[in-house]
């Protein structure tokens, strides 16, 4: 095959400029002035690549290192902002090198004050010193909150009696759970001069970087002005070999490369800078000719999107807001005339939809139509307040949502597909021409962020080509994003979840059939790094089912390194990840996998987006040299595993995204519809349930429990609802139990589950106690039938031959609901009665046994941290719950844990001290729980011990009242206690809201105790004026509590 049979060949043949065997460069010597400027643009890009290569080889002062970021804490600037930002990891640390052993008398630590959720990260922090940086001595353990330049004072650690010796001073958060570490400033004072900060400007370091880390000038040596010419000659050899394998005649270019190689000196600094530059550019033009001689580039037009890069809070769960980008741009067609001639760009919409931006698009299989999301704007300027997340509620009500449209590639036939109050975006054509898209129609609020935020979550939906018959495909409480139709006819997408896990690491690749059935994890469900894989697309003509994707973070755009993923290697194995662009890191989190064998693209920073695979070695991409949210920084490139990185098109005014060859492409197989919309349930078939479950005997499992964690609601009247500002300490959402089904002796079950409900399963023993828990969730379509073997079989393993599962010989059964119903569990309503009946006789009153108080009085809302004066009325708990949690009497799963596979009996009722004491401990003889009480208690524990059954909303028309948070009322009672009881008691210790009896106010402990002899009859009798005043205040508070109940009391009223 001839070298001219490449990307620009069609244009060249039409102009009769290319003869057989002629090089592409000679074919375009007649370039016009515009082409000359394009040549300059291409060469300028190569020079930027050379600069990146130099920085990668010799160091880059503009790229953060652990040393440069850490230096911010010893720069002498104290302003309340973070000065360094360690990535989220277990036991993060920061340290400073004092240069020599010093006697340390004092260390002063200033906390950051600018981000409420992170203000308490250093509440548990250790101070250590070392002489050699290897062996450390613990000097101080901080276990309280501290402030900084304002508000609460900074942490001051003094070392009397001769001080503490050391050269290195380290601050570390002792946390097995990953946590961010960030402070404002650290000062160290020695014995020689107690007024001199000996840490100022000294070398510092930290355990890792985060996307918020900063590069600082540490006085590095200047980078020598050399060029990677020899490196590109080497890479060109690999490209030549690849093209020859494909049958392409590149002998003329090979000869020119050989000549260039002979002229290349061994010393890269030989000659003048200008001479070195010209030699480098000469080689790059040869490599560019090779790149475009690739027979995979058998098209001359690209479809792409011009759009300003999203600037507003990049986040996997926030990138769908209509106002996240400045208005501007278009769907565009790029015609590429040749290696060194400027492409022609034709806009398609040409303002037909008014101001706004394209938000996701797909090209139809016939190459003639485009489906896209469009965010209309009121003007060419961003909406007022668009960069402030606190304005989301108002923006959602005032700005038009994103809607789906379709248009011909020639600009004809523009029509709107969807409408309504919710945003619909990121569409993809299904094989049968239906449109699969991301939507807020699920009416769910994000299961994260602070109380003052209003942000929605998204699920996948599907509609007919005309927008009719919109159906819910995936039902996720957390979010499904970025769908693309895969080669097998299914839809691949990124699912974000944190079902009893951290929000950070589980943004994995899932797939689903276009009818919404068969949703399942495809890759990275139990792999921590990278935190997210997004924009997954099938690689054409792969020997295996390979995908190209972007490795990124959570608080990021789908921007990062380009990777090739082979799920068949193993579902959670880093060996399945091959990195095409090893010089680029995810903007957040770690990175696993190995570089492609050919070496990949030699970058040094920057970000890739929207990879389109031409093969498993060649890709069209968007790339930006700057920050991930650079509004105009992204341009279109051709890259390959050999290192090719060739600019296709750059606009100086706006970013360019989503390159797609403008041509027809094979339609994937149309999968049959597996739903039955006349029913409201699906049927599950289970065999050999204990297969693959280590430590659980086959006959030990007797039941399967089906549970459901609720989505956080969102509506445009009240905005987002919240469960807890943080999962303190053990739950993100309420839990309801749908029921249990029995297991046959062979471990099989055949049962119904409700459709469109995200459920999870728990394996139970004969007593109904959990053996293993599914810490993920799955939803089913009406009429769907799903089957599985074990808990859980791998997809590489076929079911073994054997007897037919006995449960499948019978009709499916409906789960048997618990006696208290299928509503969400409320501790105060459903579990506290068990403690009232069996426990508070000993563990209640003024002196509860063992200091464990299981009484049901309400407690105050947890503190929200500096900057938040008002507590949230619905966030409080009760005394028994706080006793259980504070003393770890039940074993709950770590909601900040990573993506690791959960082993059997890791937590739950079998691992809980409370159950152990009731079954075999000192309470076993005294406490006899009824079957109902037993089931309530273990079910609550196995549901991960939730407290609340519902949500709070800051715009509720009837604000809730929380008696424990009524500082004025309790202050009046406290004043009386100070006067009447102060001789024996601190008023704060006896003015306890949890001592108030909400059913019988006169039985409140601080009213009954002072009437007794043990308290010296502080109140002689009930006619005492102060007694009556306190009783009146209590009754007033109790009355308000029931009139405007906070959510735990509302749960009682609801039954």
SS (H, E, C) 141-195: EECCCCCCCCCCCCEEEECCCCCEEEEEEEEECCCCCCEEECEEEEEEEECCCCC
Q: Please tell me the distance from the alpha carbon of residue 174 to that of residue 432, in angstroms, as a whole number.
A: 54
pLDDT band at 30 (very low <50, low <70, confident <90, very high): very low
Contact (Cβ atoms closer than 8 angstroms) between residue 403 and residue 373: yes
Provide the 8-state DSSP code for 424. Answer: E
Contact (Cβ atoms closer than 8 angstroms) between residue 548 and residue 594: no
Give yes or no for residue 22 having a pLDDT over 50: no
The pTM for the full model equals 0.85
Give yes or no for residue 266 having a pLDDT over 90: no
Q: Out of 75-79, 313-317, 527-531, 797-801, which region has the weakest mean confidence (pLDDT)?
A: 797-801
pLDDT band at 543 (very low <50, low <70, confident <90, very high): low
Q: What is the model's pLDDT at position 220?
A: 63
**Section 826-844 average pLDDT:** 95
Determine if residue 92 is left, alpha or beta; phi over 0 gives left, psi from -120 to 50 gives alpha, anything else beta: beta
Residue 1048: count of CB within 10 angstroms of its CB: 26
Peptide bond connecting 729 to the previous residue in cis, omega within 30 degrees of 0? yes
Q: Please tell me the distance from the alpha carbon of residue 801 to that of residue 898, in angstroms, as a whole number.
A: 36
In percent, the amount of the chain with pLDDT more than 90 equals 75
Peptide bond connecting 160 to the previous residue in cis, omega within 30 degrees of 0? no
Q: Please tell me the distance from the alpha carbon of residue 807 to that of residue 812, in angstroms, as a whole number.
A: 8
Q: What is the model's pLDDT at position 726?
A: 64
Q: Please tell me the distance from the alpha carbon of residue 469 to that of residue 615, in angstroms, as a whole number.
A: 36
822: Cα separation from own chain's centroid:
30
Q: Out of 57-71, 183-197, 603-617, 787-801, which region has the weakest mean confidence (pLDDT)?
A: 787-801
Q: What is the model's pLDDT at position 10?
A: 32
**Section 95-100 average pLDDT:** 97
Q: Out of 25-34, 402-411, 505-514, 665-674, which region has the weakest mean confidence (pLDDT)?
A: 25-34
Q: What is the model's pLDDT at position 798?
A: 60
CATH of 66-206, one of 2.60.120.260, 3.30.70.141, 3.40.50.300, 3.90.550.10: 2.60.120.260
The hierarchical CATH code for the domain 675-838+902-928 is: 2.60.40.1120
Give yes or no for residue 727 having a pLDDT over 60: no
Residue 810: count of CB within 10 angstroms of its CB: 10
**Section 895-909 average pLDDT:** 89
Peptide bond connecting 813 to the previous residue in cis, omega within 30 degrees of 0? no
Higher pLDDT, 641 or 271: 641
**Section 986-990 average pLDDT:** 88
Q: Please tell me the distance from the alpha carbon of residue 354 to that of residue 352, in angstroms, as a whole number.
A: 6
Higher pLDDT, 698 or 907: 907
Question: What is the residue extent of each domain of the chain?
Answer: 9-58+223-291, 66-206, 301-661, 675-838+902-928
Q: Out of 52-66, 355-369, 626-640, which region has the weakest mean confidence (pLDDT)?
A: 52-66
Q: What is the model's pLDDT at position 1012?
A: 75
How much is the mean pLDDT over the chain?
91
**Section 338-360 average pLDDT:** 96
Residues in contact with 101: Cβ distance below 8 Å, sequence separation at least 6, in sequence order:
131, 165, 166, 167
Q: What is the model's pLDDT at position 20?
A: 30
pLDDT band at 434 (very low <50, low <70, confident <90, very high): very high
pLDDT band at 12 (very low <50, low <70, confident <90, very high): very low
Q: What is the model's pLDDT at position 501?
A: 86
Residues in contact with 895: Cβ distance below 8 Å, sequence separation at least 6, in sequence order:
498, 500, 501, 502, 727, 729, 730, 731, 732, 944
Instruction: Compute φ and ψ for 611, nearest 5 degrees.
Output: -70, 135
Contact (Cβ atoms closer than 8 angstroms) between residue 978 and residue 987: yes
**First vs last Cα of the chain: how many Å apart?**
78
Give yes or no for residue 405 having a pLDDT over 70: yes
Alpha-carbon radius of gyration of the chain: 33
**Section 669-698 average pLDDT:** 92
Q: Please tell me the distance from the alpha carbon of residue 422 to that of residue 837, in angstroms, as a whole number.
A: 48
The hierarchical CATH code for the domain 301-661 is: 2.120.10.30
Indicate the Cα dihedral angle 849, 852, 858, 864, nearest 10°: 150
Q: Out of 614-618, 657-661, 985-989, which region has the weakest mean confidence (pLDDT)?
A: 985-989
Q: What is the model's pLDDT at position 238?
A: 95
Give yes or no for residue 1001 having a pLDDT over 60: yes
**Section 50-78 average pLDDT:** 87
């Amino acid at each position: 095959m001839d070298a001219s049979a490449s990307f620009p060949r069609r244009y060249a043949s039409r102009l009769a400029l290319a003869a057989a065997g002629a090089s592409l460069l000679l074919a375009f010597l007649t370039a016009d002035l515009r082409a000359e400027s394009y040549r300059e643009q291409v060469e300028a890009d190569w020079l930027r690549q050379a600069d990146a290569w130099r920085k990668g080889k010799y160091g880059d002062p503009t790229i953060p290192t652990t040393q440069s970021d850490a230096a911010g804490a010893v720069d002498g600037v104290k302003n309340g902002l973070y000065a360094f930002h360690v990535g989220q990891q277990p036991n993060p640390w920061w340290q400073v090198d004092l240069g020599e052993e010093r006697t340390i008398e004092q260390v002063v630590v200033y906390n950051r004050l600018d981000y409420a959720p992170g203000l308490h990260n250093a509440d548990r922090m250790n101070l250590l010193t070392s002489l050699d940086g290897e062996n450390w001595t613990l000097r101080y353990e901080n276990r309280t909150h501290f402030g900084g330049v304002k508000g609460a004072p900074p942490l001051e650690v003094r070392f009397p009696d001769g001080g503490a010796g050391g050269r290195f001073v380290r601050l570390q958060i002792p946390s097995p759970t990953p946590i961010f570490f960030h402070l404002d400033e650290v000062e160290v004072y020695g014995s020689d001069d107690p007024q001199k900060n000996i840490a100022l400007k000294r070398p510092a370091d930290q355990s890792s970087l985060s996307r918020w880390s900063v590069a600082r000038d540490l006085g590095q040596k200047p980078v020598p002005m050399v060029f990677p010419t020899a490196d590109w000659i080497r890479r060109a050899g690999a490209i030549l070999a690849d093209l020859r394998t494909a049958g392409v005649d590149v002998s003329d270019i090979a000869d020119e490369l050989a000549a260039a190689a002979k002229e290349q000196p061994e010393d890269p600094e030989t000659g003048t800078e200008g001479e070195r530059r010209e030699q480098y550019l000469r080689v790059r033009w040869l490599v560019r000719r090779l790149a475009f001689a690739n027979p995979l580039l058998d098209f001359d037009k690209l479809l792409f999107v011009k759009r300003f890069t999203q600037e507003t809070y990049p986040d996997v769960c926030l990138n769908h807001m209509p106002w996240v980008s400045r208005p501007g741009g278009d769907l565009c067609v790029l015609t590429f005339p040749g290696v060194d001639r400027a492409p022609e760009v034709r806009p398609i919409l040409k303002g037909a939809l008014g101001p706004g931006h394209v938000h996701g698009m797909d090209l139809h299989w016939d190459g003639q139509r485009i489906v896209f999301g469009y965010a209309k704007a009121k003007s060419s300027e961003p909406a007022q307040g668009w960069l402030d997340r606190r304005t989301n509620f108002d923006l959602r009500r005032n700005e038009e949502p994103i809607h789906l449209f379709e248009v011909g590639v020639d600009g004809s036939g523009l029509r709107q597909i969807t409408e309504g109050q919710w945003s619909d975006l990121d569409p993809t054509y299904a094989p049968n021409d239906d449109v699969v898209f991301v939507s807020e129609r699920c009416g769910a609020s994000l299961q994260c962020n602070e109380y003052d935020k209003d942000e929605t979550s998204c699920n996948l939906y599907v509609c007919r080509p005309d927008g009719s018959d919109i159906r819910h495909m995936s039902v996720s409480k957390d979010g499904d994003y970025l769908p693309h139709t895969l080669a097998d006819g299914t839809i691949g997408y990124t699912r974000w979840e944190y079902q009893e896990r951290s929000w950070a690491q589980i943004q994995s690749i899932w797939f689903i059939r276009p009818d919404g059935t068969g949703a399942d994890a495809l890759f990275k469900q139990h792999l921590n790094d990278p935190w997210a894989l997004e924009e997954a697309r099938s690689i054409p003509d792969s020997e295996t089912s390979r995908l190209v994707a972007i490795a990124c973070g959570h608080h990021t755009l789908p921007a990062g390194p380009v990777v090739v993923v082979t799920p068949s290697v193993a579902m959670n194995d880093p060996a399945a990840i091959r990195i095409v662009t090893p010089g680029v890191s995810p903007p957040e989190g770690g990175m696993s996998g190995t570089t492609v064998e050919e070496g990949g693209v030699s970058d040094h920073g920057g970000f890739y987006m929207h990879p389109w695979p031409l093969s498993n070695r060649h890709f069209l991409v968007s790339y930006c040299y700057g920050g991930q949210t650079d509004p105009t920084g992204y341009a279109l490139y051709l890259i390959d595993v050999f290192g090719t990185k060739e600019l296709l098109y750059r606009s100086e005014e706006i970013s360019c995204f989503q390159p797609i060859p403008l041509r027809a492409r094979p339609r994937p197989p149309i999968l049959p519809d597996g739903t039955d919309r006349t029913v409201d349930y699906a049927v599950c078939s289970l065999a050999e349930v204990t297969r693959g479950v280590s430590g659980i005997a086959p006959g030990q499992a007797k039941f399967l429990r089906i549970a459901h964690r609720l989505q956080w609601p969102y509506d445009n009247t009240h905005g987002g609802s919240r469960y807890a500002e943080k999962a303190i300490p053990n739950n993100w959402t309420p839990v309801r139990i749908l029921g249990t089904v029995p297991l046959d002796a062979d471990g099989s079950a055949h049962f119904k589950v409700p459709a469109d409900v995200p459920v999870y399963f728990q394996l139970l023993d004969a007593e109904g106690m959990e053996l293993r828990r599914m810490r993920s969730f799955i939803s089913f379509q009406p009429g769907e039938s799903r089957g599985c073997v074990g808990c859980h079989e791998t997809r590489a393993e076929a079911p073994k031959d054997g007897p037919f599962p006995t449960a499948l010989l019978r009709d499916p059964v409906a789960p048997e609901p618990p006696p208290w119903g299928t509503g969400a569990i409320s501790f105060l309503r459903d579990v506290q009665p068990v403690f009232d009946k069996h426990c508070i006789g000993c563990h209640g009153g003024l002196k509860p046994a063992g200091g464990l108080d299981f009484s049901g009085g309400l407690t105050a809302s947890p503190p929200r941290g500096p900057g938040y004066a008002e507590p949230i009325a619905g966030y409080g708990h009760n005394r028994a719950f706080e006793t259980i949690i504070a003393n770890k009497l039940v074993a709950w799963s770590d909601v900040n844990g990573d993506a690791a596979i959960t082993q059997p009996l890791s937590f739950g009722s079998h691992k809980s001290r409370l159950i152990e004491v009731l079954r075999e401990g000192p309470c076993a003889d005294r406490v006899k729980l009824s079957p109902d009480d037993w089931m309530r208690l273990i079910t609550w524990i196995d549901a991960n011990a939730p407290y609340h059954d519902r949500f709070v909303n800051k715009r509720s028309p009837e604000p809730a009242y929380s008696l424990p948070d009524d500082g004025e009322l309790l202050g009046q009672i406290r004043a009386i206690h100070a006067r009447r009881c102060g001789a024996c008691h601190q008023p704060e210790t006896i003015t306890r809201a949890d001592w108030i009896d909400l059913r019988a106010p006169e039985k409140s402990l601080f009213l009954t105790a002072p009437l007794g002899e043990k308290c010296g009859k502080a109140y002689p009798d009930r006619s005492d004026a102060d007694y009556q005043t306190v009783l009146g205040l209590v009754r007033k508070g109790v009355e308000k509590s029931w009139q405007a109940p906070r959510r735990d009391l509302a749960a009682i009223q609801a039954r």
